[in-house]
Amino acid sequence: MSPQIPESNVVLIGFMGSGKSSVGRELARRWRFRFVDTDAAIRRRFSKSIGEIFSIYGEDFFREQEHEVLREMLGQQRAVIATGGGIVLQNQNVALLRRLGRIVWLTASPDTIWERVRMSSHRPLLQNQDPRGTMDRLLQARSPLYAAAADLTVDSSGLLHCEVADRVVARLLERRACSRNQS
């Protein structure tokens, strides 16, 4: 197998607006992997947007679905898996992510994230009177969870999606070289 192609699935985690879906699609295209996305799987299940699912059934229900679709993804091979920003809130999800593949945390500075999410209307958690404050609070609370789950971290601030994909590829290769040297 080409050394550029990962030996396992690659799972992308990170806050809303960190580029998981766009970078994930780019990586899948390069490696000819399948691209799967937990939010898209949930949307398909109900033929509804994430906003509709939150408002009709509530967040707890959405979190249950998130866990279900992740479980259904076990057994995937040659896949890039993009996850919703809250996937790390459940420890049981993190355990599943580890079984699925290499976990890459896409980070970005708070200002970068804000610029990316401020105009979006499809993120229910930010549809309130103080979206920036909410974003900052969630980011602070979740960052340690992403850090604890991640095998490696790539900062996407100021980069195009294809540049972030380049970095992910490079970091995965570094890791592989390391594990070869250590064995």
**Nearest-CB residue to ligand S3P?**
84
Q: Give the contacts of 50 (CB within 8 A, at least 6 positions apart).
A: 39, 42, 43, 62, 84, 122, 123, 124
Q: For residue 125, what are its two tokens? A: 């958690």
Question: Which residue, 124 or 176, is less far from ligand S3P as judged by CB?
Answer: 124
Stretch that binds ligand S3P, among 4-12, 98-106, 122-130, 158-166 (CB under 6 A): 122-130
Backbone angles phi, psi at 117, to 5 degrees: -105, -15
- The Cα-based distances of 3 to 6, 151, 170, 176 in angstroms read 7, 19, 11, 9
Among 6, 24, 84, 101, binds ligand S3P (CB under 6 A): 84
Write the DSSP symbol of residue 104.
E
Residue 25 as a binder of ligand S3P (CB under 6 A): the answer is no
Among 28, 86, 150, 156, binds ligand S3P (CB under 6 A): 86
Strands (E) across 79-161 are located at 79-82, 101-107, 152-155
Among 40, 96, 125, 152, binds ligand S3P (CB under 6 A): 125
SS percent in the chain: helix, strand, coil, step 5: 60, 15, 25
Stretch that binds ligand S3P, among 69-77, 79-87, 127-135, 149-157 (CB under 6 A): 79-87
Residue 152 as a binder of ligand S3P (CB under 6 A): the answer is no
> Shortest gap between Cβ of 162 and ligand S3P (angstroms)?
19
Residue 85 as a binder of ligand S3P (CB under 6 A): the answer is yes
Residue 16 as a binder of ligand S3P (CB under 6 A): the answer is yes
Which single residue is written with the structure tokens 């790390």?
88
Question: Which residue, 20 or 102, is less far from ligand S3P as judged by CB?
Answer: 20
Residue 39 as a binder of ligand S3P (CB under 6 A): the answer is yes
Residue 80 as a binder of ligand S3P (CB under 6 A): the answer is no
- The Cα-based distances of 100 to 11, 47, 77, 82, 154 in angstroms read 7, 26, 9, 12, 19
What residues line the site for ligand S3P (CB under 6 A)?
16, 20, 39, 50, 84-86, 123-125
